[in-house]
Amino acid sequence: MSIAWTEQVLPVNGIDLHVTQAGTGEPLLMIHGVTVDATFEHHEIEQLADTYHVIAPDMRGHGRSTRPAAFTLRDHVEDMIGLLDTLGVQRTLVLGASMGSYIAQALTLAIPDRVSKLILVVAKAHGASSSSARILAEHADELRGMSREEQQRWLNARMFAPQTPAAVRQHVLDWIAARQGLGLDMTAGQLQAANNAVLDFDFGGQLPDLDVETLVISGRHDILNPPEEGQQIARLLPHAHLQVFEHSGHLLSWEEPDHYVDAIRTFLHE
């Protein structure tokens, strides 16, 4: 079956959001992680669009959306509410990965009656900084003298599980290179702004009151948001199911793509 894809720029909350949409059916809002954009999710968008109306924005500061000099987690939440309003979506499934999982939690806490089910991927419920910034700070001595690009390559190499095939690692590197070729990579200032938006958040005190069926997915070898973080979320939420992918690090949608889509489908169909 042929899936209809559209890409458009929508004025939302004072900025322009580049939004990819595919498929028909129940809406599924997909929120990506820091430094990437909706194209990073094309595998699962393509797979899920045969059943759902997938809505995948480039978040502010990322991809082809507006990149303000500074913004907050609340700005991300207001962007998503504005996007749903613009598209006339009253109720949606929500999937957030990494940074997207923080936004997804904040969004669901803000509009719980508009979220039918929630999927949190490589997530954490609280953080003083972005996970990548934390790892780089913890290894500052080892990284001293490296350029920003060298530090990012060092970090990228550690996002995978030890057993992740070289071909998968190269596929991610090819995606990064292609994005750079299109001028969509982030400057140091833009990366700092994106990281600053997720400083000092803590949903721990609010999650026990969240009456939304939730799937939490963690990667066994994730050094950024290890499975203990997912376990904590699953304990806090009254209606949460935890799955730990044994052969994945932080990029489990690339490391175990079929298992990933199957887990999402199973949860959403229940």
pLDDT tens-digit series, residues 38-66:
999 999 999 999 999 999 999 999 999 99
Tally Cβ neighbours within 10 Å of residue 69: 9
Kindly state the DSSP code that residue 99 receives in the 8-state scheme. Answer: H
Q: Give me 180's structure tokens.
A: 């750079």
For residue 64, the domain's CATH number is 3.40.50.1820
Mean pLDDT across the chain: 94
Q: How confident is the model at residue 270 (pLDDT cuts 50, 70, 90)?
A: confident
Q: How confident is the model at residue 130 (pLDDT cuts 50, 70, 90)?
A: confident
| Buried/exposed 39-67: b ≥16 CB within 10 Å, e otherwise | bbbeebbebbbeebbbbbbbbbbbbbbbb
pLDDT tens-digit series, residues 250-269:
999 999 999 999 999 999 99
Q: Look at residue 1 and tell me whether its pLDDT is greater than 60.
A: no
State residue 235's pLDDT score.
97
For residue 15, the surrounding DSSP H or E stretch is: strand 15-22
Range of the domain at 206: 5-269
State residue 157's pLDDT score.
87
State residue 61's pLDDT score.
98
Domain count, the chain: 1
Q: Look at residue 2 and tell me whether its pLDDT is greater than 80.
A: no
- Residue 122 is which amino acid? V
State residue 132's pLDDT score.
82
Q: Look at residue 103 and tell me whether its pLDDT is greater than 70.
A: yes
| DSSP β-bridge partners for residue 214 | 118, 240
